[in-house]
A = this chain, B = another copy of it.
């Protein structure tokens, strides 16, 4: 993740562009959206196993989805014994998608951002 939430300094345009890219790609898949939902509605924290047992696909497939979400900065992992606790990064989800969507809420007057895409 090129995520700004890791550093104190505000994100550069390039970083924001990258964030948009990885987040939008991550949420493109229904199972990954579902994982985020489940995670959110179960309090924001679940082990890999708890997540995997809720899906029809095999465990390794879920693992990979989780890796995509992690790479997008939408979840973080905390190893706990032999389990892995996945934690939803709700703030990042809302910030990244929300600020993209906001461009369409303003009336089109000023002109587009320099490729915020």
Contacts and interface: CB of A to CB of B under 8 A. Distances in A.
Interface of A: 20-21, 24-25, 27-28, 30, 33-34, 36-38, 40-44, 90, 93-94, 97-98, 100-101, 103-105, 108, 111-113, 115-117
- Of all A-B residue pairs in the complex, the 5 with the closest CB atoms, nearest first, are A28-B28, A41-B112, A33-B117, A41-B108, A34-B117
A37 B117 contact: yes
Nearest to A98: B101
A104 B30 contact: no
Given A94-B105, A108-B44, A28 B24 contact: yes
A101 B105 CA distance: 15
Nearest to A42: B108
